[in-house]
Each structure stands twice: as C-alpha cells, then as structure tokens.
Amino acid sequence: MASLNFDHSSIFNNNPLDPEEFRRQGHVMIDFLADYYLNVEKYPVLSQVEPGYLRQRLPESTPYNPEPMETILQDVQEHIIPGLTHWQSPNFFAYFQCTSSTAGFLGEMLSAGFNVVGFNWIASPAATELETIVVDWLGEMLELPKSFLFSGNGGGVLQGTTCEAILCTLVAARDQMLSKIGRDNMRKLVVYGSDQTHIAFQKAAKIAGIHPNNVRAIKTTKSTSFALSPDFLQSEMCKDIEAGLVPLFLCATVGTTSTTAVDPVGALCHVAKDYGMWVHVDGAYAGSACICPEFRHFMDGVEGANSFSLNAHKWFLTTLDCCCLWVKDPSALIKSLSTNPEYLRNKATDSRQVVDYKDWQITLSRKFRALKLWFVLRSYGVANLRNFLRSHVKMAKAFEELVAMDRRFEIVVPRNFAMVCFRVLTKAMGIAMRKPKQSHQNGNAENGHYKVAEEEEEGSSNEVNQKLLESINMSGRVFMTHAVVGNVYAIRFAVGATLVEERHVIMAWKVVQEHATAILIKHQLKASFE
C-alpha cells in the first residue's frame, strides 16, 4: 500500500493550546487591548465605514498556512477597528452602555480559559454553586425579598440577555395557565406591556406562541412621564375578559429604553394579582442603580411580582453577556424548560439536592458567567459599585443643568437616572407660526387651524432635531441616539461608559451647541427665503 505523505510536524508539534505559546500570545493580546483602551477616545465613536467595506479589504478565502498572531492583530488595527462603533469610548452616550472593567474582563478570560459547560451540577459543581451564591449576593444588595433568593424559596440564574429572561418567564407563565384552563385555550391568552416596554417583550410573545392580536402595548402619556397607568391596565384587562380572553402576563419596567420611565410596580402588581397574572419586572438598565439606597424606591412593590431581571452587562461593570433573573417559583421554570435524556442522568440530579441550570434556560449549553460577576462583586465591593453608579448620575445631572441654561433647548422628560432626553425648541428656529384667520361661520374652524399649525410646528421641530443628531454623530466626536415619545423626537444622552469623566460630558455639550448653532442658522436662512 502506498504511504500517505502527511506533514506530521504541522499537526502534532503545533499544539493549539501550548502553555508557553499561550502565555506569549496572551501578553501580546493584553498589551494590544491596554493600548486600545488608552487611545479609544481618539477614534471616531461612530464607525464611518460604508456597508460592505470589509469584504473589499480581506482575502476571499481562508489562509491555507498558519499566520502569526502579530499579523492578525495588525489586520485588526487596520481593518477591524475602523469598522467598530466604540462602545467603550468615554464619548459613547448612545443606547445604554455595555460597561466593562478589569475585573469583569479577567473573570471572562478565566471563564473562557476553563471553558467548562455547566449545564448540570455534575458537569462542573463549582460553576453551578458559585452562580447560586452570586445571584443571592446581588439579590441581597438589591434588597430583593427573601422569596426571590435561594436562601428563601426562590432562586436566580444568569441568562444571556433580557430577551431570554422574558421568554423563559413568559413560557413558564403560559404553561402554568394552560395547565389550569386547558391547552386548547392557547389563543385566548393575552399579555400586557406599555408602548414603552422593550421590544424584547413582543419578540418573546411571538416565540412563545401568543397570538399577535393578544399582545397589548398600552398607551402612555407625558402626564405620567410615560409610565404605565394601573387604571389603563385594568381597563384593558376588563375589556379582554369581557371578550372571553384570559390575562396571562404583565411586563413592567424600571427604566424604559426611550426615557428611563419607571412603571409603578406596586400598583401594577396589585391590579394583576386580582386576575392571577404573572408579573415580570424588567430592570435591565436601571435595576443596577437600585443597589443605591436613594434609588431603591423605584423597585418598591417588587414583592408582588413573580420575577425580576437586570443586565449586569449594562451598568454593572460585567462584560457582555450577563442577565440576572430571579424567580419566586423556580419549579415553574423547570416544569416548562426541563429536558431529561438518559445520557444526562446522574445520581446528583436524581437526588434532587442540586440545581441543574439547563432547566432554567432555553439552551442546554451555558457559559460560566458567575466567575466574572463574582470577580466584579469582590474586586469593587458594594461601596465602590455604588460610587461608580452615582458618579454617572452626577454627570448626567450636570449635563441636564447645562441644557437648562441654554434657552434654545428643553428637557423632554424628567431625568430619573443617568440619561437626559432633550431637544431643540421650535422657537429657537426663529419661525413664527402664522395665526389663522378668524372664521365667523364655524367656531371650531379656528381650533382646527391651530391644531394643524401645532402639528406642522412639531413636525418641523422633529425634523430639525433629527438633523441635529445626525450631524453630531457624523462628526465622530460623540455618539448619541434618539427616541420618539408623545410624537416628540428627543435626543438621548446616556452617561454610563466606564472611562467617562466630567470633561467628556462638558465636551459633548459643546459639540451639541456647535452643531445646533449651525443647523439653526441654516434653517433660519432657508425659512427667510420661503
């Protein structure tokens, strides 16, 4: 038989996990990232590339022979970094930040190094047990009722994102309700949120099989600072019950995405309780702030809820991904999400003395997320974590005061945490809306004209604010995003980057003023010729 000429040296001598080469390349990578953090504020915050840019720069196929790490990192510097929007930049004020920290990064690195798959207790006992400990630690910091903790009758789990947390709790609620009313009544189930509830709620409802016509997004108003009204909720539920439908699930929010509005958790739970609904409280962004005593009142009434979640990867120095979910009744999750194939059977599971986290989530496989959260909690402690959060709130308050000092702008909604919603006022454009002529034939005609004028004025204001935001972001100096609430286009200024300092906030305001001045002058010149 003819012998095959394999290059054995390339297979066996190039150990993909050689400890010494790992050590050398690891140092190179740490140095690369340290330099990146040192210089990150020098990059345009929002990437300036065009769609498809990367395919033009990289080879068409995989390299046949290995390339050194230094060559790959050179390509990262030249081709990848220009295509990044720099979420760790101190000039990033968009969305809600995805904070990082030395402790969070090193915990993630250690987790990746161990690379365990802790789907059940026996697969890595430490992974499971550390997770049960850290979720209780954080739950106690938040002053969650004992009923949400392992030290009580509840428990917590680290999921990937809020989308997963809402889906898991919604599925548990669905199955719990259907076991009472029969699975053939699936089409009668109704879920409730507000028009400010995160889109993850609607996505979860879709995946869980809730009929699209049975997903309620209850209107909010400026009079309640865009929080969900318990009266509106009850009214909507009564209509559904009269129509033969079954209220199932309410998603209340502490810190909405658009404006950081806070739903009245206690009052909403009181309404839902009368109908046997599952209440989930989404604290993805603002939940972290509630470890500070002065913000804890925003969670008041959570004892009436069935579940609560927050994203530690948003505002808690823990790298993506890490969503903390607490439930009062873990058995509800387990009944809906458990799978018990023969190949996973073991004595520990059969003893019912351990937690198997595969039955608390969508997927089977799971990361050792508890390590990075444990590193963060231990490395910074409660006092420093509170100070970190307070520093961002203080900077947001300073920005809010700067906005208030400039009469061309207004604050759109009250600030609750570390985000300011603002806009340029129509009057700053120097446009006088013409008063409609008096009508003697129809007393309502004048009011109608005024309404049209107001709508035109608001539309013009929204257009100017949209152009202002686009101009600011294309400058590359800062990055912000927007929201539309009550038909008003508002610019969102969210303070939360780990590296942000007061000087970055002051600079951001100067950028806003500069671009506002340019936009308004251009708008006034245009109006003068019309």
What are the sequence ranges of the domains in the chain?
16-47+84-98+382-530, 116-368
Helices (runs of H) and strands (runs of E) counted in the chain: 16, 11
pLDDT at 190: 98
* Radius of gyration of the chain measured on its C-alpha atoms: 27
pLDDT at 525: 74
pTM confidence score: 0.90
Edge-first strand listing for the sheet containing 488-494: 409-411, 419-424, 488-494, 481-485
Alpha-carbon distance of 213 to 240, in angstroms, equals 11
pLDDT at 180: 94
User: Alpha-carbon dihedral of residues 379, 383, 388, 392, nearest 10 degrees?
Assistant: 170
pLDDT at 524: 72
pLDDT in tens, 110-139: 999 999 999 999 999 999 999 999 999 999
User: Alpha-carbon dihedral of residues 137, 138, 142, 144, nearest 10 degrees?
Assistant: -70
* CA geometry: angle 475, 477, 482, nearest 5 deg: 75
Q: Quick check: 439 pLDDT over 60?
A: no
Alpha-carbon distance of 356 to 219, in angstroms, equals 40
pLDDT at 175: 97
pLDDT in tens, 375-428: 999 999 999 999 999 999 999 999 999 999 999 999 999 999 999 999 999 776
pLDDT at 520: 81
pLDDT in tens, 304-343: 999 999 999 999 999 999 999 999 999 999 999 999 899 9
Alpha-carbon distance of 285 to 372, in angstroms, equals 18
Give the pairing of strands 278-282 and 246-253.
Answer: parallel
| Residue tagged 């152009």 (tokens) | 467
- pLDDT confidence of 522, banded at 50, 70, 90? confident
Alpha-carbon distance of 520 to 530, in angstroms, equals 15
pLDDT in tens, 18-49: 999 999 999 999 999 999 999 999 999 999 99
pLDDT at 406: 95
Q: Do domains 16-47+84-98+382-530 and 116-368 have the same CATH topology?
A: no
Give the pairing of strands 189-194 and 246-253.
Answer: parallel
- pLDDT confidence of 529, banded at 50, 70, 90? low
pLDDT at 209: 96
Angle (deg, nearest 10), helices 265-273 and 230-242: 20
User: Once rounded to an integer, what is the mean pLDDT over residues 190-196?
Assistant: 97
pLDDT in tens, 225-270: 999 999 999 999 999 999 999 999 999 999 999 999 999 999 999 9
Phi, psi of 433 (to 5 degrees): -70, 130
As a whole number of angstroms, the longest Cα–Cα distance in the chain is: 108
Position 59: which residue type? P
The CATH code of the domain at 116-368 is: 3.40.640.10
User: Once rounded to an integer, what is the mean pLDDT over residues 49-54?
Assistant: 95
**In the numeric block, which tokens belong to residue 345?**
């059977």
Q: Quick check: 436 pLDDT over 90?
A: no
Mean pLDDT value across the chain:
91
Alpha-carbon distance of 197 to 259, in angstroms, equals 11
pLDDT at 14: 73
pLDDT at 326: 98
Q: Quick check: 460 pLDDT over 70?
A: yes
**In the numeric block, which tokens belong to residue 123?**
């697969």
Alpha-carbon distance of 145 to 313, in angstroms, equals 23
Of the candidates 101, 98, 499, the one whose C-alpha atom is nearest the C-alpha of residue 315 is 98
Which residues have C-beta within 8 Å of that of residue 342, sequence separation ≥ 6? Answer: none
Q: Quick check: 445 pLDDT over 70?
A: no
Decide: helix, strand or coil at residue 39: helix
Q: Quick check: 215 pLDDT over 90?
A: yes
Alpha-carbon distance of 406 to 391, in angstroms, equals 24
Which residues have C-beta within 8 Å of that of residue 241, sequence separation ≥ 6? Answer: 247, 275
Position 253: which residue type? T
Instruction: Give the count of beta carbons closer than 10 Å to the beta carbon of residue 378.
Output: 12
- Superfamily (CATH) of domain 16-47+84-98+382-530: Aspartate Aminotransferase, domain 1 (3.90.1150.10)
| Residue tagged 């799971």 (tokens) | 366
pLDDT at 527: 67
Compute CA distances 160 → 319, 360, 414, whole Å.
Answer: 11, 12, 31
pLDDT at 530: 61
Dump strand ranges (E) for 79-200: 155-159, 189-194
Phi, psi of 325 (to 5 degrees): -120, 130
pLDDT at 6: 43
Dump strand ranges (E) for 363-469: 409-411, 419-424
What are 341-347's contacts with CB under 8 Å, separation 24+?
A: 344/119, 344/120, 346/120, 346/122
